[in-house]
């Protein structure tokens, strides 16, 4: 799925202050965008709102641990 609007309001986790390996999340019209904080010029990938919510729920439920 292609989202035509550029992401804005990029944020990096407050838990990443001690490390250089982190991602940033930006808002899009239809969901979220994710990019590497070390290489912002490399681009980003996008998700729909529903995909992003499902991903966050899986993180909170520790499905990746």
Block residue for tokens 């990029």: 10
What sections of the chain are H helices per DSSP? 49-60
Instruction: Tell me the pLDDT tens digit for each residue of 8-42.
Output: 999 987 777 667 778 899 999 999 999 998 888 99
pLDDT bracket for residue 3 (50, 70, 90): very low
Query: Is the pLDDT assigned to residue 1 strictly greater than 80?
Result: no
Q: How far apart are CA 23 and CA 10, in angstroms?
A: 10
Instruction: Return the pLDDT at 11.
Output: 92
Question: The pTM is what?
Answer: 0.76
Q: How far apart are CA 40 and CA 24, in angstroms?
A: 9
């Amino acid at each position: 799925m292609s989202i035509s609007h550029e992401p804005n309001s990029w944020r990096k986790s407050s838990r990443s202050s001690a490390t250089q390996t982190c991602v940033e999340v930006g808002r899009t019209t239809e969901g979220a965008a994710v990019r590497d904080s070390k290489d912002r010029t490399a681009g980003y990938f996008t998700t729909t709102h529903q995909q992003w919510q499902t991903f966050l729920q899986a993180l909170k439920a520790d499905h990746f641990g």
